[in-house]
């Protein structure tokens, strides 16, 4: 993805290697390491690290990929469905609509690539994130949660076509 989504507040675009230091500073070193390790996959065309930045400061990111899932159940039940991993918004700017805009950008990116669904895994106890996903039209899959105990997580799926989201009209620019 070469284009970018601009709003009066921030820009969402594909991350570059030079962004990782800023991402580490705003989200934490562990997250910086995660996204740095996704750069070769992005370079190989296997996914996109979507980055939201306010001014010159990165404030959020998510990895969008069309690689097969690691989990056998997900490969079987959601075959060919792109997956979102590791969505993270800087703590001090949460609940300002950045997560929603990132998801909307992912939806637009995937829609333009011809995909009709997208999915993500969410910890069962992450009720805030689940509330956001459900509000945007994601539904829990009709299968057992994965993982065990406190590491249990569910898959949530969004039908890209006809998805409920308010974000696209607020994009003021996109350049492919
Ligand atoms: C989950 C996360 C990505 C959401 O990003 P965000 O920018 O805060 O989300 P938005 O501002 O677009 O949406 C906010 C809405 O999501 C829901 N929500 C998000 N966090 C919430 C929380 N802690 N408690 C309750 N509701 C929450 C609410 O519906 C909220 O709307 P409201 O503020 O009007 O009640 C962000 O909180 C985050 O980075 N969390 C830590 C990492 C994480 O859990 N990632 C998700 C992995 S699946």
Task: Give residue limits of the domains in the chain.
Answer: 4-163
Using DSSP's 3-state secondary structure scheme, residue 158 falls into: strand
Ligand 1 site, residue 106, Cβ cutoff 6 A: no
The matching CATH number, chosen from 3.40.630.30, 3.40.50.2300, 3.40.190.10, 3.30.1370.10, for 4-163 is 3.40.630.30
The answer to whether the CB of 88 is under 6 A from ligand 1 is yes
* pLDDT > 90 in the chain, percent: 82
Which secondary-structure segment (H or E) carries 65?
A: strand 57-65
**Distance in Å, CA 40 to ligand 1 centroid:** 28
pTM (two decimals): 0.90
* 109 and 50 Cβ atoms separated by less than 8 Å: yes
- Model pLDDT, residue 8: 62
pLDDT at 85: 98
User: Does residue 124 have a pLDDT over 50?
Assistant: yes
Average pLDDT of 49-71?
A: 95
For 61-116, what is each residue's pLDDT tens digit?
999 999 999 999 999 999 999 999 999 999 999 999 999 999 999 999 999 999 99
Ligand 1 atom 28: residue of nearest CA: 132
């Amino acid at each position: 993805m070469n284009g970018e989504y601009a709003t009066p507040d921030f820009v969402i675009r594909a991350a570059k290697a030079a962004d990782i230091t800023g991402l580490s500073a705003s989200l934490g070193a562990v997250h910086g390491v995660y996204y740095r390790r996704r750069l070769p996959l992005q370079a190989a065309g296997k996914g996109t690290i979507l980055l939201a930045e306010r001014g010159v400061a990165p404030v959020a990111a998510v990895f969008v990929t069309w690689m097969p899932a690691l989990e056998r159940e997900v490969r079987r039940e959601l075959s060919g469905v792109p997956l979102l991993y590791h969505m993270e918004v800087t703590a001090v700017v949460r609940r300002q609509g950045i997560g929603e805009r990132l998801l909307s950008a992912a939806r637009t990116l995937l829609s333009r690539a011809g995909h009709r669904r997208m999915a993500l895994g969410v910890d069962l106890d992450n009720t805030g994130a689940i509330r956001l996903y459900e509000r945007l039209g994601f539904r829990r899959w009709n299968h057992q949660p994965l993982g065990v105990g406190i590491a249990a997580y569910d898959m949530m799926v969004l039908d890209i076509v006809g998805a409920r989201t308010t974000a696209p009209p607020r994009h003021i620019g996109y350049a492919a």
